[in-house]
Amino acid sequence: SDTIFSPDGNGTEDTTTITADITAVSDWMVEFKNSSNVIVKTISARAAVVSAPWNGRNADNQQVPDGTYTWTINATDPNTQAQATPVSGTIQVDTVIDTSEIREPLSGANLSATIPIKGLAGDRNFSRWQLYFGQGTNPTNWTWLTWGGWGGVAVLDAFGNPPTLYNWNTAQLTNGPYVLMLQVEDQAGNFSNTRIPVTLYNIAIYNERASDTIFSPDGNGTEDTTTITADITAVSDWMVE
């Protein structure tokens, strides 16, 4: 049912089921072999339909290592002992994300202005990566920044440098602690959750405006004043000239 699955008990893609039809009621058996051709699990029954769910555990109920496994179906007619031609295929057990790293900025860094966020994201069964930030030391709400989809793995270049995932403009964010989070997802349903804390400090003026760009200070009670307003990212001694 799934050629790639993640039997880690998290409720997502934890099992795969091998199915097939047989032309007559038969004693069928499905064998699962590892890359060393060793049988790790056998499931059998008598029926004209094969349905063999596997939870990624071996005959001793231990989880098998990640890797590629070969399944083979054998079927024998219990009355005539005639044997069907075996059929087989492969599945992958994948329970971890191979690479999920934020290389820059460093954990605990003090940041200002626009900061390049550099990192690595990849998996042999890669699906996508997504980058977020949250305000505070333990955010419950996250703001999405960007993502990389199929084929968008983030790897070191020829000189060993990580790619820039996003240029983060912090100039108009409230000063204080934040957390950057990189999530990498693979086709087996695994997720990474790589986080680093940072602190923002900017002195920036934004949302600036004049209440009236044309006014008439002649004392007649109409349009006699204008007001300059703005927001500042930190408490400041400000002056309007």
pLDDT digits (tens, 9 = 90+) for 190-232: 999 999 999 999 988 889 999 999 999 999 999 999 999 999 8
Whether the CB-CB separation of 67 and 159 falls below 8 Å is answered with no
Mean pLDDT computed over 48-77: 97
What is the residue-averaged pLDDT of the chain? 95
Residue 149's pLDDT band, with cuts at 50, 70 and 90, is: confident
CA neighbor of 37 nearest in space, from 65, 62, 69, 66: 69
**Alpha-carbon Rg for the chain in angstroms:** 30
User: Could you tell me where the beta strands, DSSP code E, fall in the chain?
Assistant: 4-5, 16-33, 39-54, 67-76, 87-93, 99-104, 110-111, 114-122, 126-135, 143-148, 164-169, 176-186, 194-200, 205-210, 228-232
Mean pLDDT computed over 137-163: 93
Quick one: what percent of the chain has pLDDT higher than 90? Answer: 89
pLDDT of residue 206: 87
Distance of CA 6 to the CA centre of its chain: 14
Whether the CB-CB separation of 29 and 42 falls below 8 Å is answered with yes
Mean pLDDT computed over 44-50: 98
d(CA 233, CA 27): 74
Residue 59's pLDDT band, with cuts at 50, 70 and 90, is: very high
Residue 133 has pLDDT above 80, yes or no: yes
Return all residues near 13 (Cβ < 8 A) that are at least 6 apart.
Answer: 2, 4, 5, 6, 188, 189
Residue 9 has pLDDT above 90, yes or no: no
Exposure string for 111-128, b = 16+ CB within 10 A, e = fewer: beeebebbbbbbbebbbb
Residue 157's pLDDT band, with cuts at 50, 70 and 90, is: very high
pLDDT of residue 152: 79
Mean pLDDT computed over 177-186: 97
For 67-122, write each residue's pLDDT tens digit. Answer: 999 999 999 999 999 999 999 999 999 999 999 999 999 999 999 999 999 999 99
Quick one: what percent of the chain has pLDDT higher than 70? Answer: 100
Q: Which two tokens stand for residue 126?
A: 């890669």
d(CA 54, CA 52): 6
